[in-house]
């Protein structure tokens, strides 16, 4: 089972139209975290790998890829890999992690290191509210690094900060996507 905090189709959480999945639970406690409601390791919306695979395969022609964020996606690496192995390989994978790449390579969480093999682009490192990024897209703070593990994207996709926001209405709740806070 995957523990999902929220999920939506978006155009502000990575290149192109994407399915963004925010995972519930994070062991990091970045000062200024914009997803405080996703930190606790508790059940949110539990979705089986089979259900998730079916959903993604049903919308694969509507999206360019997946964006994995949270919370902390690498805490659920084993289950995410099961999904990624069974979806269209043309979908790109962008992941955000509070852990650095080096930490992920040595993390004692089942399959965390292996998940890196499925990712096209990784944005790593804790968010630092004193180093807010003002020049690059999709990075929260200047201390974070961007790793391109495949040639599916080039560095220019992260150039030129563009402030984008989407407003979503779901279950009588409004949330702003691409902006660091829920309303």
Could you read off the pLDDT of 83-112 as tens digits, one per residue?
Answer: 999 999 999 999 999 999 999 999 888 899
Q: What is d(CA 132, CA 142) in angstroms, rounded to the nearest whole number?
A: 6
CA proximity to 86, closest of 121, 47, 54, 45: 54
Alpha carbon distances (Å) from 12 to 47, 51, 85, 112, 139: 24, 25, 25, 26, 12
Name the residue with tokens 């539990």. Answer: 46
Residues with Cβ within 8 Å of 174's Cβ and at least 6 positions away in sequence, in order, are 167, 168, 183
Give me 137's structure tokens.
Answer: 């897209």
pLDDT attached to residue 174: 66
Look at residue 135 and tell me whether its pLDDT is greater than 70. no
What are 151-166's pLDDT values in tens digits?
A: 998 877 766 655 666 6
């Amino acid at each position: 089972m995957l523990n999902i905090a929220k999920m939506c189709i978006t155009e502000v959480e990575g290149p192109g139209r994407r399915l963004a999945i925010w995972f519930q639970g994070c062991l990091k406690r970045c000062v200024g975290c914009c997803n405080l409601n996703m930190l606790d390791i508790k059940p949110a919306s539990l979705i089986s790998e089979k259900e998730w695979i079916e959903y993604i395969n049903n919308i694969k022609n509507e999206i360019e890829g997946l964006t994995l964020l949270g919370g902390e996606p690498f805490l659920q690496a084993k289950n995410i890999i099961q999904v990624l192995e069974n979806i269209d390989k043309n979908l790109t994978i962008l992941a955000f992690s509070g852990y650095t790449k080096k930490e992920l390579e040595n993390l004692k969480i089942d399959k965390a290191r292996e998940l890196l093999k499925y990712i096209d682009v990784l944005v790593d490192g804790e968010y630092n509210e004193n180093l807010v990024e003002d020049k690059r897209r999709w990075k929260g703070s200047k201390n974070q690094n961007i790793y391109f593990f495949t040639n599916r994207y080039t560095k220019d996709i992260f150039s030129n900060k563009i402030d984008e926001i989407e407003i979503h209405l779901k279950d009588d709740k409004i949330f702003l996507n691409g902006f660091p806070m829920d309303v």
